[in-house]
Amino acid sequence: MTICTHCGVELDNGLNSCPLCGRNPQDSGEKPETVMVNPSEILQQHKKENRKHLWELSGVIAFSGIAVCTLVDLLINRIPGWSIFSDVVILALWIILTLFLYAYRRIWVIIPALLATVLTALFLLDRITGGTNWFLPVGLPLTAAAFALAGMIGLLYRFAHLKGLNIIAAGLLLSAGFCILTEIVLDKFLNGFLHPRWSLIVAVSVLPVTLIFIFYQYRLKKGNRLDSLFHI
């Protein structure tokens, strides 16, 4: 084994560059073109390479799936049919994966991009079925409400002084409100009138659980942080 004279790491025989510091292990005066003296920089570079490889692999799988579905549909039906639905869904999922791989730290970028991707996919699926029948009255409001709910939970977690069971309680309340909105939108679209049933049952069932969480959080002063509560 060879010992690097700069950082002391053991190297395999025949290596002309240390993988930790980037220098020639035998020449103390040589300066490499790119020197990474911090191990965290090496780990970060490995993460970038892994993200790139995962993105490339997911792209190959996604576009292979699109090609296979389209080819099978053409061989059976002579014209594109059901494969258009699968192609739109696969492409949307690949775009969403790309956003999570390369923009996961930029919330102001990933949230609008995710919303635009989902809405575009829903619009295309509605158009494929023969018109814009359900996108505007159902798909658009429910998708916007779901993203608004996720955004409110994220903002609450970021700016709340206590980050414990109160976050879960708020999420349950917002989810109950989303269920009520979902039933209202579906009733109006399918029946033309409002008659909430199951969503009210969900809301009534969720209410005592949220009150218990809030009491446990603020009255007993326990579980101030979710990461410590669940040992994350």
CA atoms within 13 A on the CB side of 213: 20
pTM of the model: 0.69
Residue type, 100: F
The pLDDT of residue 194: 86
Of 117, 152, 179, the residue at which a domain comes to its end is: 117
Q: What six digits make up the tokens of 91?
A: 């492409």
Residues 33 and 51 in one domain: no
**Domain count of the fold of the chain:** 3
Range(s) of the domain holding residue 93: 46-117
Q: What is the pLDDT of residues 61-110, one digit of tens each?
A: 999 999 999 999 999 988 888 999 999 999 999 999 999 988 877 878 88
How crowded is residue 4: how many other Cβ atoms within 10 Å of its Cβ?
Answer: 19
Residue type, 35: V
Q: What is the pLDDT of residues 153-202, one digit of tens each?
A: 888 888 877 777 888 999 999 999 999 999 999 999 988 888 888 999 99
Q: What is the pLDDT of residues 111-170, one digit of tens each?
A: 899 999 999 999 999 988 876 689 999 999 999 999 999 888 888 888 877 777 888 999
Q: Is residue 102 part of a domain?
A: yes
Do 202 and 151 form a contact (C-beta atoms < 8 A)?
A: no
The pLDDT of residue 227: 54
How crowded is residue 25: how many other Cβ atoms within 10 Å of its Cβ?
Answer: 22
Q: Using CA atoms, how far apart are residues 82 and 73, in angstroms rounded to an integer?
A: 7
